[in-house]
Structure 1
Amino acid sequence: MDRLCKLIVLAILSLSLPNASAEQEFIKPNLTFCVEDTEFPPYNYFERVNGNKQATQGYDVDILAEVFAETGIEYKIVALPWRRCLKEVREGLIDAAMSASLNPQRKRDYIATQAYYALTPSYFYLQSDYANPPNIGHLDQLLSLGHVCGIKGFNYRNFGLTQIQQIDEINDLAHLPDMLKRNRCEFFLARKETLLGTLAVNKLHQFDSLIQSQPVPNVRLEPFHMLISRKSAYNHVIEEQFNRIVSELQQSGETDKILQRHLNKLKKMNQ
């Protein structure tokens, strides 16, 4: 059955190529995927050697390896500023972006795969500023309590914030501790799981005990997807292969194992 699936995928690939000739029996694409260069751990982050950033690793990297393991398809992963990553996917220069949430514009601009994980929309603040969590029923109410910050180019529509234009943007999640300490931000919007990972890879474990997080009230877990370029010659092949393999990995529990492996790595970094 595995051999049959492989042959079917390779046959689809050969048909999807423009001007494919009969002599080119199975021409395989060389794909490019992009991730956020300021890191989104445990989903994508850099390996460190003596404090220097090396190759990209993480859940996304391992998922792609599983997705294309049996196809012989070659691909590479590049780390770019998030806005550039999305722009080059939209323009067809890159085949797909990993770890993206959805909003109406992205649904129009890209082909979204099925969700392959979900995160908790949260807001963070210094414990010393609030003995008890702020009493809010909607995220917009934070704006009346102080400056609300987020990362430039990130999508916060799924946080339930209607006045998105009032977010103060910073370039890098690792700058958060300094922004909070200097009262440049009273609150910071982030997905809980990735912020804690970011503190770990940047060796900011001492700051972990100073901040508190609360899930955004009345908001569901936020699903994350691969966004595929509508201009990629292989978009439907990528979508079919990704959705099929990820479904199998989820059903077998393998995605949970992959995620836990990287959570364990981050935990060691934070020691």
Structure 2
Amino acid sequence: MPDLHFARVLRCLLVGSALAVAGTAWSAGGSKPVLSACAGQSPPFVWMTKGLGSQGFSVELLGKVATGLGRTARIQELPWARCLRDVEAGRIDVAVDAYDDVARRTKFVYSMPYHTLTPQVFYVPVAPDSGPPATTAEALQKLKGCGVHEYTYEHYGLSTARMDLNAKTNRQMLRMLLAGRCDFAVEELEYIIGGRQTLADWPDETALRSYRPEWAQPPQTALSGRQGARRRTHPGSPDRRRNCGAGKPR
């Protein structure tokens, strides 16, 4: 059954990606068009190192999708805000591991989601035996939170109006929290564990604590392309994505 599920996911990703692809670049040899993609450092799903290139499950999945579309995958690391801007402008075909939300749907189309992640709230206790500063979305909203620029926190039920979003990466966000610039930070557990195990210069988390916010929706990731690149379908043709499911808003 897992093989059948993977085949279904891959088939739906191919449909979604074909709808999202914007232009046609060609590989260096000119033999195949390129599926260009961008992503941030987000191990264990995407990470890039000198000499080893791009690694991770999402990188492998992108390669499968590109092959299914008759293309060669080319992925580059970019700050997430720039990655989204370049996809929206049509300079890059797809963003990898994108979260869906209401505002982004006016600009982007999405493939079937392929990861479901674990929301987490991080904080520094005021005393060794003290608990979190707040345990509901309403209470957290009254405090100052840290986040990453252009990340969406809709699935936490939080407005970004009172959040410091000056960090460009999760590393910077955690350093801001440890420095006392905010009362809490939110990020999915998989990304924090992946960064801790993989990335150099990761901050010391000894002073940090965290908990799973039960009210938050587990977000799902997908490939995302610009809205204007959507292919038109014949008025009488069925929507081939109707059985592929929809991602929960992030």
TM-score (norm 2): 0.71
How many angstroms apart in 1 are the aligned matches of 2:109 and 2:63? 21
How many angstroms apart in 2 are the aligned matches of 1:17 and 1:168? 33
How many angstroms apart in 2 are the aligned matches of 1:74 and 1:156? 33
How many angstroms apart in 2 are the aligned matches of 1:65 and 1:233? 21
Pick the aligned partner of 1:141 from 129, 139, 142: 139
Pick the aligned partner of 1:58 from 56, 67, 87: 56
Instruction: Pick closer, same or farther for the CA change 1:108–1:178 going to 2, 3 Å.
Output: closer
TM-score (norm 1): 0.66
Instruction: Pick closer, same or farther for the CA change 1:101–1:130 going to 2, 3 Å.
Output: farther
The CA deviation at 1:68 is: 3.3
Verify the 8 A CA contact 2:39 2:80 in the aligned structure 1. yes
Larger Rg: 1
Q: What secondary structure, in the 3-state scheme, does the structure 2 residue paired with 1:198 have?
A: helix
Counterpart check, 1:30 vs 2:34:
yes
Counterpart check, 1:191 vs 2:188:
yes
RMSD: 3.3
Counterpart check, 1:219 vs 2:216:
yes
Verify the 8 A CA contact 1:121 1:221 in the aligned structure 2. yes
More helix by share: 1
Instruction: Pick closer, same or farther for the CA change 1:175–1:129 going to 2, 3 Å.
Output: farther
Counterpart in the other structure of 2:89? 91
Counterpart in the other structure of 1:5? none
The CA deviation at 1:94 is: 1.1
Q: What secondary structure, in the 3-state scheme, does the structure 2 residue paired with 1:150 have?
A: strand
How many angstroms apart in 2 are the aligned matches of 1:69 and 1:78? 18
Q: What secondary structure, in the 3-state scheme, does the structure 2 residue paired with 1:40 have?
A: coil
1:116-195 correspondence runs (5 A): 116-127=114-125, 129=127, 131-134=129-132, 136-144=134-142, 146-161=143-158, 163-169=159-165, 170-195=167-192
Identity %: 23
Verify the 8 A CA contact 2:120 2:212 in the aligned structure 1. yes
How many angstroms apart in 2 are the aligned matches of 1:195 and 1:127? 18
How many angstroms apart in 1 are the aligned matches of 2:225 and 2:203? 38
Instruction: Pick closer, same or farther for the CA change 1:167–1:70 going to 2, 3 Å.
Output: closer
In the alignment, structure 2 segments of 5+ residues that lack a partner are 1-13, 24-30, 234-240, 246-250
The CA deviation at 1:204 is: 5.8
Amino acid of the residue matched to residue 192 of structure 1?
L
How many angstroms apart in 2 are the aligned matches of 1:171 and 1:108? 24
What do residues 133-192 of structure 1 show as CA deviations (whole Å, max 9, x unaligned)? 337452231244x4310111111111111x321101222221244323321122111111
In the alignment, structure 1 segments of 5+ residues that lack a partner are 1-8, 19-26, 237-242, 248-271
Instruction: Pick closer, same or farther for the CA change 1:72–1:83 going to 2, 3 Å.
Output: same
Counterpart check, 1:201 vs 2:198:
yes
